[in-house]
Chain A
Amino acid sequence: MSFDPGDIRSQFPILNEEKLGRAVHYLDNGATSQMPEAVLNAINTHETAARSNVHRSVHFLAERATRAYEGARDDIAAFLNAARREEVIFTSGCTAAINLVAHTFGETLSPGDEILISVLEHHSNIVPWHMLAARKGLRVRAIPATADGELDLGKLDTLVTPKTRLIAVAHGSNVTGAITDVGRVVAAAKNVGARVLLDGAQMVPHSPVDVQALGVDFYAFAGHKAYGPNGVGVLWMPYELAETLPPFMGGGEMISTVSLTGVTYAKPPLRFEAGTPPIANAVGLGAALNWLQSMDRVGAEAHMKDLTDHLINSLSAIERVAVIGPTGNNAHRLPVVSFTVDGIHPHDVAQILDGFGVAVRGGHHCAQPFMDILDIAGTTRASLSPYNTMDDITALTDGLREVLKLL
């Protein structure tokens, strides 16, 4: 099958301009992607033909619900090339997944231990570590960024110490789009026996992920950025590691036995899935990843590279506009492009672009430390999807020229 962005776009009801009543050039996929009919149908089918609680009742609806939920777990395990299905833990999102690591693996750390993040991180991969450090007396350090907005991994030699217990970095930056050289990070961690967590929120929508090949210890991502619903995410970790970790949240589902004097806990993954899970959303996420895998990935990748290159080149040709992030032809980057407009706040850029039907994000993108380093309030960010076309890029750049005329 060949890749046709028009065909992809036609699968997304919300992108129907006639139905929406206005032009829509949706370039805010790094914040939330849209859902194709395959996912919407999967959720609707579940809720109308299989809705029930899971793992509990014996009636036929409960059986259907459990099969659907666990089937989604199988789909996600296959997507990640996990060694075992039990390594896939459903959470309420990527933030919850990272917090789960902080509250389980984090509880095994000791005062004086160090956690290494980076200056490019999203707040979801900064704040949990600060909170953990305050609870446990840890030290949080950060890998700096290069002028191109990539992680400066040359500094790993000095930043990774015998006290480093975890390196937690984005697989791809939600601001600069730079893709992390995971091999170098894993090698540095292994030297000192540290674990590695990757925030895969921006990577999963754009590239297959093989957790075994990556060699990391934790992989977190969100459903709503990967063409799935809100309210669901995934934490992957090797089963051998998961078995050793204490639970975080307590309640139903995650127990083996409960008495008035004590509790024994379920094995992973259920140990980490307290309460009724986001069942329909998990089904939707499974459908989303299946949909992604059904696409001509080679064709999609080529399309995304063409769009990204064209976007960066077009922006770079506009006076007063500067792209933040790697821009060379062979730049190892995601289709996530941030830029500044000299003298114009990103909120104003984004607001005026909205008037032309162009949806971008203006602000600090939950990356305040990086914005402070750049000494700016924020950037305007366009984040692309296979349903975007050159028309969307043209709408953005034409709109930007109008911004510059007005302000």
Chain B
Amino acid sequence: MSEIYQMALLKLAGRASGAGRLDNPDGTATVNNPMCGDRITVDICLSDNETVRELAHDARACLVCQASASVLGKAAIGKTVSELASVADQLNDMLKNGGAVPTGDDWQDYQSFDAVIEHTSRHNCVLLPFEALKEAAEDN
């Protein structure tokens, strides 16, 4: 059985923190993974054009993407767009180079994604929510 689907990751996906849509977002973006059909929409409201005040995500996606969106949905509130871009870079490094989980207590749930590292075809599933967030911030 694939080690990716450890209980912790399944619980993250099931928790679905932040799942849904915002009524009046400041920015929204829908991003597709052309390799597999994953699709996620991220709505955000920002304070001072920089700090995430609200975030919601609507994913038609695999469990890995859903779990990552759930981590982001919980941890993004109160973070700046720049900080979240840095987290995305650290996450990319974790996946591509076996680097550490992004720094900060809010991101330790990404330890549940360690089995994804050796499956390069699933890396974009983890990163897709961050890509949508970046585009939603640019849409603001």
Contacts and interface: CB of A to CB of B under 8 A. Distances in A.
Contacts of A377: 36-39, 60-61
Interface in B1-22: 1-2, 4-5, 10
A104 B50 CA distance: 52
B5 A346 contact: no
Contacts of A354: 2
Interface string B9-53: 010000000000000000000000001111100000000000000
A352 B37 contact: no
A402 B63 CA distance: 16
Interface residues of A, number: 20
B51 to A, nearest CB: 32
Contacts, number: 54
Nearest to B10: A407
Nearest to A366: B34
A347 B39 contact: no
A124 interface: no
Contacts of B60: 377
Nearest to A353: B2
B62 interface: yes
Among B35, B36, B61, chain A packs the most CB atoms within 10 A around the CB of B36
Contact of A345 (B10, B35, B63, B119): B63
A250 interface: no
A128 interface: no
B125 interface: yes
B74 interface: no
Interface in A56-89: none
A407 B2 CA distance: 12
Interface in A324-373: 345-348, 351-352, 354-356, 362-364, 368, 371
A345 B62 contact: yes
A403 B42 CA distance: 29
B118 to A, nearest CB: 12
A362 B37 CA distance: 9
A149 interface: no
Contacts of A347: 36-38, 62, 64, 122, 125
B36 A406 contact: no
B36 A362 contact: yes
B38 A351 contact: no
A348 B36 contact: no
Contacts of B35: 363
Given A345-B62, A345-B63, A351 B2 contact: yes
A407 B10 CA distance: 8
Contacts of A30: none
B117 to A, nearest CB: 14
A71 B41 CA distance: 54
A172 interface: no
A402 B5 CA distance: 12
A363 B124 CA distance: 14
A144 B73 CA distance: 39
A314 B38 CA distance: 28
A351 B122 contact: yes
A401 to B, nearest CB: 12
B137 to A, nearest CB: 25
A101 B9 CA distance: 48
B38 A352 contact: no
A345 B61 contact: yes
Contacts of B39: 377
Nearest to A368: B37
Nearest to A371: B37
A310 to B, nearest CB: 25
A223 interface: no
Nearest to B66: A345
B63 A364 contact: no
Most buried by B among A348, A363, A364, A376: A348
Contacts of A345: 38, 61-63
Contacts of A352: 1-2, 5
Interface of B: 1-2, 4-5, 10, 35-39, 60-64, 119, 122, 125
| A-B residue pairs, 4 tightest by C-beta | A377-B37, A347-B62, A378-B37, A345-B62
Given A352-B1, A376-B37, A378-B37, 6 more contacts: A346-B36, A347-B38, A347-B62, A363-B35, A371-B37, A402-B1
